[in-house]
Amino acid sequence: MEKIIEVRGISKAYGKRKMKEKIHAVRDVSFHVNRGEVVGLLGPNGAGKTSTIKMLCGLLESDAGSIHINGLDICKKRLKALEHISAVLEGNRNLYWRLTVRENLEYFAGNRGYSRKQVAYQADKLLEQFNLKDKENELVNGLSRGMQQKLAIAVALLANTDVILLDEPTLGLDVEVSYELRNILNRIVKEEQRTIIISSHDMPVVQELCDRVIIINKGEVVIDDRVENLLKLFETRAYSMKLGEGLSVDQENKLLSKFPLSTYTTSSHETIVEVNLEHSQDIYELFDLLKEEGTMVESIDRITIDFEQVFVQIVKGGMTNEMAASIQC
Ligand SMILES: Nc1ncnc2c1ncn2[C@@H]1O[C@H](COP(=O)(O)OP(=O)(O)OP(=O)(O)O)[C@@H](O)[C@H]1O
């Protein structure tokens, strides 16, 4: 597979005003993106995603390491390398706010050197794809945030670069527009084989669109794996058990300290324990813990897990690529 982006050991530290120590936002991060892949760049707040994205699109210089885009070193051949990447960053700075929707599309299509007929064709196609036809003559200035975001992504697609970088594409959008945008992107991903890097906290977007995710925590890559592998991995280790009776306080404490990713809920009619085990065989330890006081397990089911739960478990549970690989073996 052709590596269109190759990031090797990049780091970034920021100086803190009046303080000697630095904030190490990104530490020795390496990853690659293959042509045609849709990769999610995820992490909790302050993990180092924005810094990484800014380094990828040349807005920030790394302190160490290298970034190659389409084989071109972003430090040595900056302008040539950046021709291969277009980015939609927060604030949609890639749009002309005093032009209409159609004028923006036609302007950027014109910049690509298309003929007048092709410009009109491209604009029509994108207006249709992004459901913007009825807004074509409105100024960008007056559009809702959702409409502006759709147009910004349409303009980025128009540039036809090898890689498109979408930073939080659904941030601040209402549920309906976010859903619509997710569907539009999904269609484009399926039909056009684009290489896209998406940074997002919107887990349904990640689960639906991304082939692979790179999770960054405290400036370091903790997981780099296919979405389907991670879902499978966590699904085989997540169980819901219905117990015959409530646990004693002592047993409950033992359960929560031994299996920190579990939840225990009890009511007058049922007691449920949900666990996510580090290794599938840990289930025997759980049975022993319950057996100690003669607690009956009435039923046990595997939990269907979504990517949001996977993400929380990885970040909170401190899982790394090595741990994931050892479980998968
Ligand atoms: N210009 C800056 N000066 C000083 N510290 C910074 C600067 N930019 C980022 N940081 C710090 O670097 C760390 C990583 O920040 P970054 O914005 O890259 O993370 P992030 O994963 O994008 O977070 P979020 O999801 O909240 O946007 C944080 O501790 C942040 O406070």
Give yes or no: residues 82 and 213 share one domain.
yes
- Do 201 and 76 reside in the same domain of the chain? yes
Q: Yes or no: say if 95 and 81 are a contact pair by the CB < 8 Å rule.
A: no
Residue 77, domain extent: 3-231
Q: What's phi and psi for 196, nearest 5 deg?
A: -130, 140
CA of 45 to the centre of ligand 1 (A): 8
Cα angle: 123, vertex 127, 130; to 5 degrees: 135
Same domain, 123 and 193: yes
Please tell me the distance between residue 303's alpha carbon and the centre of ligand 1 in angstroms.
35
The residue whose CA is least distant from atom 18 of ligand 1 is 48
Atom of ligand 1 nearest to the CA of 51: 18
Q: At which of 231, 262, 296 does a domain end?
A: 231
Distance between CA atoms of residues 182 and 201, nearest Å: 13
**What tokens were used for 251?**
């047993």
Q: What is the pLDDT along the chain (329 residues), one digit of tens a residue?
A: 899 999 999 999 998 776 778 899 999 999 999 999 999 999 999 999 999 999 999 999 999 999 999 999 999 999 999 999 999 987 667 789 899 999 999 998 888 888 899 999 999 999 999 999 999 999 999 999 889 999 999 999 888 889 999 999 998 888 888 999 999 998 888 888 889 999 998 898 999 999 999 999 999 999 999 999 888 887 778 889 999 888 888 888 888 888 877 888 988 888 999 888 877 778 888 888 888 878 888 999 988 888 888 888 788 776 677 766 666 55
Residue nearest to atom 6 of ligand 1 (CA): 14
Cα 47 to ligand 1 centroid, rounded to whole Å: 7
Atom of ligand 1 nearest to the CA of 12: 12
Among 178, 211, 231, identify where a domain stops: 231
Helix ranges, the chain (H): 49-56, 78-82, 101-111, 116-129, 145-158, 175-192, 203-209, 227-235, 249-258, 282-291, 307-317, 321-328
Domain match, 224 and 267 both = no
Same domain, 219 and 278: no
**Does residue 207 sit in the same domain as residue 244?**
no
Q: Are residues 167 and 202 in the same domain?
A: yes
Is the same domain home to 23 and 71? yes
Ligand 1 centroid – CA 289 distance (Å) = 43
Atom of ligand 1 nearest to the CA of 52: 18
Cα distances from 74 to residues 20, 62, 81, 161, 291, in angstroms, run 30, 10, 6, 15, 60
CA 100 / ligand 1 centre spacing (Å):
34
Total domains, the chain? 2
Interatomic CA distance for residues 62 and 78, integer angstroms: 13
Read off the CATH number of the domain in which 126 is found.
Answer: 3.40.50.300
Q: In this structure, are 164 and 237 located in the same domain?
A: no
User: Looking at this predicted complex, what is its ipTM?
Assistant: 0.96
